[in-house]
Amino acid sequence: YATQVRLPGFRPGKAPPSMVRKKFPEAVRQEAIELVINEAFREAIEREGLKLAAQPHVHDLKAVPGQPLEFELHCEVRPELALEKLEGYTLTRTESAVTDELVDEQIERIREQKAEWSPVEDKAAEGDMVTVLLSTAEPDGSLPEGKEYRLVLGGGQAIAGIEELIMETAPGATAEKSVRWPDDFPDETQRGVSKLVRVVVKDVKRKALPALDDAFAREVGDFDTLDALRATVRTDMGEHARREAEADLRGQLVRQIVETNPFDVPKAWVMQLVEGYMQMYGVPDAQKQTFAKEFYPMAENQVRRDLIVDTIAERESIAASASEVDARVEEMAKARNADPGQVYAQLQKQGRLQEIEREITEEKVFTWLLEKNPVTTA
């Protein structure tokens, strides 16, 4: 401890140990206790051959000067899965056919994304985009200064009564009307309440979809004709359907394996996954408890799946080879039209090579399982 502290009159790290001991007795003692605990628990974990699921917790610490240090370690360990039954399951592959109607719907969604909004002088209609100043009467009946909103009418962004008032008002005009809040409004205290609403329509824009022709296909991407765009959309949708069918098959397998080989999962791992998703989605503190409660079953299922994959991979010596990882990186580089070496270096820097390795290992585990469990097609 003397090498870390600063004392007046001494260079950093040069204070006499006796003086440091006298000035910082509790800090020195606490550090000594932590060092002994860390050394002891590493030795104990190694001796017992435990695979920890989370950092151990120290309980009943007895640290009396001059006496042996005593404490309990409470450890949550990774479960040992027997997985005695991995064959004889009933699996059904359901793959959706890519029809002309589905392709047309996807093309229409692409058209919607490429639509242009142009100002109009008419009153707004359903599907139009409006910019409005909206104010709702206070409990005392006064109307505050309006707040600006941009809405697409008919999309459920405003309650029906307010949308009706907007569509009755010409651009540049102001209108007031008593509006009744719907009976299924999220805020129960506002259900069925009528309030005076003032709306100022600043502008109205109408959507114009591009013509469905070869020029549209060229605008979307590297397609010479509309038929080429349709063909690519059909291929992509077919690939998506195959991936969905494969994911459903894996889900069936995991559910049946868990039913016939029940096991507990480490709560620490589940909560770690929940917290990771909360961070990813930016869940506000006020909503974290609700999110955790709703997401916990999904996270628990994911942990069960991971444990099953890890156990089978370890037992059957299934693992992604270096050449398979390289091949996957080359595929990614080809899709990005980038140099494989640069993509590899980028993934390595981001720490994502491990993700690719695990992804390939998981694919190989499910391939191994599907070889043992025949699949029927619905």
pLDDT tens column, 195-218: 999 999 999 999 999 999 999 999
- Rounded Cα distance between 19 and 7, Å, is 9
13 pLDDT above the threshold of 80: no
Contact 2, 17 (CB under 8 A): yes
CA dist 100 to 94, 198, 218, Å?
19, 47, 21
**Domain covering 116-208: architecture:** Roll (3.10)
pLDDT value at position 84?
A: 93
- Residue 213 CA to residue 209 CA, distance in Å, equals 12
Topology given in CATH for the domain delimited by 218-377: Trigger factor, domain 2 (1.10.3120)
Cα dihedral across residues 149, 155, 161, 166: positive or negative: positive
Q: 3-state class of 211 per DSSP?
A: coil
Contact 237, 152 (CB under 8 A): no
CATH 1.10.3120.10 domain extents, the chain: 218-377
Q: In the chain, which segments carry CATH 3.10.50.40?
A: 116-208
With 80 as the cut, is the pLDDT of residue 230 above it? yes
Q: What is the mean pLDDT of the chain?
A: 92
pLDDT in tens, 342-364: 999 999 999 899 999 999 999 99
State in Å, rounded, how far the first CA of the chain is from the last one: 70
**Global pTM?**
0.69
